[in-house]
Structure 1
Amino acid sequence: MRNLLIVFVFLVTAFAQAQQEIKWMTMNEALAAQEKEPKKIFMDVYTDWCGPCKLLDKRTFHNKDVVNYVNQHFYAVKFNAEGNEDITYNNFTYTNPNYDASKKGKRNSQHFFANALKITGYPSIVFFDENGKLIAPVVGFKTPQQLELYLKMVKKDDYKTLTSAEAWQAYEKSFVATFSN
């Protein structure tokens, strides 16, 4: 009976952890999904060798509040900025013609889509509106509470009114985070 209880607890824990995952998709899948049901896109731009990218994945993207909010309000895209995936965006197919398979997991050439998005560092989080139009990239590791600011600002379209440094500073200062640690 005790062994059965241990197995049951293990299965419940595993199921709960599985439920706390962001539902990642490719950019091509997200753009196709937008055609059926318009929703903003939240893109994690990472590289295999990037330590802060791994930290973001572990600490922020597994936070239950982040997971729930992203899954509810966005199509979530995982994009390796040095990978070799073909992405068709705005009637153009972006590739990584200098990708070297022998360097997989190490520094590789930057994908043309990352270059087109003007990605300057990793990790970067990039937001797109419901029509697939680029809103903005946000560079660097973010805690769940720091990311919450951007998630809610984009979801509510508040970014459209933040047209000056002063407006951004006031918005940031007045924002009250509710996501747990």
Structure 2
Amino acid sequence: MKKFISGLFIISSVVAFAQEAIQFQDLPFKDLVAKAKKENKILFIDAYTSWCGPCKMMEKNTFTKKSVGDYYNANFVNARFDMEKGEGRDIAAKYGVRSYPTYLFLNGDGEIVSQNYGYMEEGLFLSMAQDINSPNNKKGSLRDRFANGEKDPEFLINIMKLNSASDFDFAKKASERYFENKKKAEEFSKDEVGFLLFFLKSADDKNYKEFTDRKAEIIKFLPEETYKEFDNQIKLSKVVEQSIDQKNKRINDDYFMKTAEPLVGKHDAEVKLNQTKLSYYEQNANFPEYEKAALAYYKNSESFEPNELLKAAWVFSEHVKTPTSLKKAAEWAEKSVMRGETSENTYILAKLYFLTGNKDMAKTYAEMSRNMATQAQKDATLAEELLKQIK
């Protein structure tokens, strides 16, 4: 009888403990959103992974607190999704979840109301929820409110913060309305300068006038030289776009230089042209043009960081056949190895030595790459396959 009573007590305690914690609902995502809309509540999603230590600590230490459970269960629709399984993958992609744990708070239209990260103690986690659970966050779709012309600065800042990763265009429009309504007499804050620069992508953007008109305020927060460099990049972005022949997948060098040089000077125009060619030709798998651009751009290799040179060396090792070009790429890879040996750069160097006929050095560095990868518990397959070819 005593054992029965003791067992009953344990069961009752477990049930009571479970009821004190946040009650996560096991429903499909669309049903959770519909439930939040029907109940006029915000949907809270704990975005976690199985290997995340802070996620497990939240589950053990914070979600189980009575004050947390009481508030979240009364005010939110609560759910948890593993971001690497099932619907979790779609949620991670849709809302730009890249770190764990992430706490998503969505309205009844599935729009982000707030997004926070990391381990939190009981008090902080509770106060965060209380701040988020405001009437403004429930009074309709963010998009509808924006479409209806809402100009409240905090509302627009919220859109910028919450949508910069998941819907950049929407966030950018919010930034344009924000700065359009910013009074000239009110000086920029550091955060406002950050918003302005983040969403400014072209000299055709509405915010570019704010950027130029209020230069004196902006350079209080960043060096004038940085301002100038940023301005040059903005001006050149349009030139880059107009220089690309989409039909033939080529860049019109003459047009680019003719248009860019008056804007930023010959040197900066040439640098931007070569950077653009490297990026564009790699993306479009035009490796003969990539080869020419890389050889021209990295002619004076001492001016570049070894890791940047290693990237080009890797592309050459995979796609270039010209012996002299491969020897030049080997020199680039050597600079990276001299900076510090890794399983990656020693493999690239080994492959380039092999492609240029230096089998002894190729074997030495391939073995080094394999051993370093094995010791670090990394995949050594590429180095092992190269060693088979060398033999």
TM-score, length-scaled by structure 1: 0.68
Distance 1:43 1:68 in 2: 16
User: Residue 149 of structure 2 corresponds to which residue in structure 1?
Assistant: none
Per-residue CA deviation, residues 32-51 of structure 1 (Å, 9 max, x unaligned), is: 21343221011100011111
Mapped contact 1:40–1:132 kept (Cα < 8 A): no
Partner of 1:38: 40
Read off the aligned partner of 1:67 and give its amino acid letter.
G
1:1-181 to 2 correspondence within 5 Å?
Answer: 1-25=1-25, 26=27, 27-85=29-87, 111-157=89-135, 161=154
User: Is contact 1:45–1:79 with CA below 8 Å preserved after alignment?
Assistant: yes
1-side partners of 2:3 and 2:190: how far apart?
60
Higher relative contact order (CA 8 A, sep 6+): 1
- CA distance in structure 2 between the aligned counterparts of 1:131 and 1:46, rounded to whole angstroms: 22
User: Distance in 1 between the 2:136 and 2:112 partners?
Assistant: 15
Q: Secondary structure of 1:62's match?
A: coil
- Aligned partner of residue 119 in structure 1, secondary structure: coil
1 or 2, which has the higher strand percentage? Answer: 1
Kindly tell me: are residues 65 and 158 of structure 1, through their superposed partners in 2, closer, same or farther at Cα, counting changes over 3 Å?
Answer: farther
The superposition leaves residues 30-82 of structure 1 with CA deviations (integer Å, 9 ceiling, x where unpaired) of 11213432210111000111111111111111111111111100001211111
SS of equivalent residue, structure 1 residue 24: coil
| SS of corresponding position for 1:79 | strand
Which structure would you say has the larger Rg?
A: 2
Q: 1:119, 1:137 within 8 Å by CA — same for their partners in 2?
A: no
Structure 1 residues 121, 85: CA separation in 2 closer, same or farther (over 3 Å shift)? same
> What's the offset of the Cα at 1:136?
2.3
1-side partners of 2:52 and 2:12: how far apart? Answer: 32
Partners of 2:62 and 2:121 within 8 A in 1 = yes
Residues 1:131 and 1:116: Cα distance change in structure 2 (over 3 Å): closer
**Is the contact between residue 120 and residue 139 of structure 1 (CA under 8 Å) also seen in structure 2?**
no
Determine what percentage of the aligned residue pairs are the same residue.
26
- Aligned equivalents of 1:132, 1:15: Cα separation in 2: 32
Name the CA distance, whole Å, in 2 between partners of 1:165 and 1:81. Answer: 34
- Deviation of 1:21 after TM superposition, in Å, equals 3.3
Unaligned runs of 5+ in 1: 87-110, 167-181
Judge conservation of contact 2:46–2:103 (CA < 8 Å) in 1: yes
For the aligned residue pairs, the C-alpha RMSD in angstroms reads: 2.6
C-alpha distance in 2 between matches for 1:4 and 1:64: 28
Contact 2:33 2:107 in 1 (8 A): no
Cα distance in structure 1, aligned partners of 2:134 and 2:37: 20
